[in-house]
Structure 1
Amino acid sequence: MTERVTILAGAGGELGRATAAKLAAAGRTVIGIGRDEDGLKRLPDGVAFRVADPTDPASARNVVERIATEVGPPEALVNTVGAYHLGAALDATPEDLRLMIDVNVGSALWLTQAVTPYMRDQGSGTIVHVAARPGLEPTAGMVAYGVSKAALVHLTRVLDLELRPLGIRVNAVAPQLIDTAKNRPNLSADLLAHAASPEAVADVIAYLVSDAATLVSGAVVPAYSA
């Protein structure tokens, strides 16, 4: 295979676009997917995209199949899909929890299911999900978000156990918060001071996808300073 096809989910967001730029600069053929068509249109030149909803299993499967047919089988999956929600445990609603699970965990599972057959046939592949510090450490005031990211951390480790024997590496990066235009209005000055830039998180993702990280699998890499 001459092209290192990399599917980048959530590519329409700021982290997705920053990651697309890093991966394309490393010589990868990046195909962005996501629901935000306007955001996808702002991807760097040379990065193609497909509009799809990764929270829907059929949509995730269909878009991966389309990319594999039109561009080539994916060598890597980078999943930057995510949603953020503030709210204490006693105030959480079923809708809050359902949304966070569907977006932050469901997308990761459905996309992984969709790409794994291609990577299994190749005998190799790499998958990177974006978790978060509240998924590693209990954090008050964001229960639905924290629980969903904790589930994603656990899913990453389970996927490593199941897919590593197939030659597929599965890792995650865990920022505390990401300083994006969408998140900024919801962040206090103290939280904003500890938020990572999209470019800084994209650097960690690019490393985990690269050949330099061949020995790294099952890791959840912290991406925060304090």
Structure 2
Amino acid sequence: MSARVAIVVGAGGELGRTTAQKLAAAGFTVVGIDRNKEAVKELPDGIRSEVGDATDPAVAKDLVDRIAAEVGPPEVLVNALGTYHLGDALDATPADLRLMIDVNAGAALWLTQAVAPYMRDRGTGVIVHVAARPGLEPTAGMATYGVSKAALVHLTRVLDLELRPLGIRVNAVAPQILDTAKNRPYLTPDQLAQAVPPEAVADIIAFLVSDAATPISGAVVPTYGA
């Protein structure tokens, strides 16, 4: 198998879908993963889709192993999986925290564990996670979300230290507000004016996985917009 295989997780969302399209246009054989069966149906022809919940480590490994066997060993992993929760620290519940950690940080770890052996065997690979500004800067009113994204930022930096000697680069992008159909109804005019189109963030992800970004590893790239 000579294909350059890229796996995009969270491909049912606007950022994941746009990233999958850009990587396919760049010459990768792309497999999009999402737990929403209907959402991955919107991926264009030529991009293979898989349905599964990557917050489950066994599911994440099974998906990656099957893709490696049927399509080829992954050279790229883009983890655009994420969820959001508003709420102050004093109002947070154990369920809130568990959900945020499981989706925003746990899945990143399980997916990395699943793809790393294939990248290690090739001596090369690129992983990009999607973090967020509240994971870099304390933000009131989104305690559990911010904590989970901070965990993802720290995980990205730890993975860089551990995997860079194996030839695997690990980076992240950190949007603030994405201008998506899902977000738009909840944004004020000022917030909407500052929101970043998914295409712009996907362009940065596509650069980070490209050969032009070979010197970059361990970076968390702010994509905050205006």
TM range (shorter): over 0.9
Residue of structure 2 equivalent to 1:151: 151
Structure 1 equivalent of residue 39 of structure 2: 39
Q: Match for residue 84 of structure 1?
A: 84
What pairs with 1:93-172 in structure 2 (closer than 5 Å)?
93-172=93-172
Q: CA deviation at 1:182?
A: 1.8
C-alpha separation in 1, matches of 2:154 and 2:185:
29
Over 3 Å counting, the alpha-carbon distance change for 1:196 and 1:170 in structure 2 is same
Q: What does residue 53 of structure 1 align with?
A: 53
Please tell me whether the aligned partners of residues 60 and 114 of structure 2 are also in contact (alpha carbons under 8 angstroms).
Answer: yes
CA contact (8 A) 2:6 2:29 kept: yes
Conserved? CA contact 2:195–2:225, under 8 Å? no
Q: In structure 2, what is the Cα distance between the partners aligned to 1:189 and 1:99?
A: 30
Task: Provide the C-alpha distance between the structure 2 equivalents of 1:194 and 1:105, rounded to a whole number of angstroms.
Answer: 26
How far residue 29 of structure 1 moved from its aligned partner, in angstroms, is: 0.3
- Cα distance between partner residues in 1 of 2:139 and 2:195: 15
1:16 aligns with 2:16: yes
Query: In 2, are the aligned partners of 1:20 and 1:44 still within 8 Å (CA)?
Result: no
Alignment deviations for residues 119-168 of structure 1 (CA, whole Å, 9 cap, x no partner): 00001100000000111111111111111111100000000000000000
Deviating 4+ runs (over 6 angstroms)? none
What RMSD in Å do the two structures reach over aligned CA positions?
1.0
Under a length normalisation based on structure 2, what TM-score does the superposition of the two structures give?
0.97
Shift of 1:69: 0.3
Deviation at 1:184, TM superposition (A): 2.4
CA distance in structure 1 between the partners assigned to 2:213 and 2:174 by the alignment: 17
* Separation (CA, whole Å) in 1 of partners of 2:177 and 2:109: 22
Cα offset for 1:86? Answer: 1.0
- Distance in 2 (CA, whole Å) between partners of 1:155 and 1:186 is 30
Relative to structure 2, which stretch is displaced further, 93-102 or 165-174?
A: 93-102
- The Cα of 1:63 is off from its aligned counterpart by 0.4
Q: Which segments of 5 or more consecutive residues in structure 1 lack a partner in the other structure?
A: none
Question: Which sections of structure 2, spanning at least 5 residues, go unmatched?
Answer: none
Q: What is the SS of the residue equivalent to 2:74?
A: coil
State percent identity of aligned pairs: 75
Partner of 1:215: 215
Number of residue pairs aligned between Structure 1 and Structure 2? 226
Whole-angstrom CA distance in 2 between matches of 1:190 and 1:86: 19
What is the Cα deviation at residue 186 of structure 1?
3.2
Match in the other structure for 1:179: 179
Q: Is the 8 A contact 1:175 1:222 kept in 2?
A: yes
| Aligned mates of 2:196, 2:225 — CA distance in 1 | 9
Displacement of 1:14 in angstroms is 0.7
Please, what TM-score do these two structures have when normalized by structure 1? 0.97
1:93 positional shift: 1.2
Contact 2:15 2:202 in 1 (8 A): yes
Q: Do 1:134 and 1:146's aligned partners in 2 also have CA atoms closer than 8 Å?
A: yes
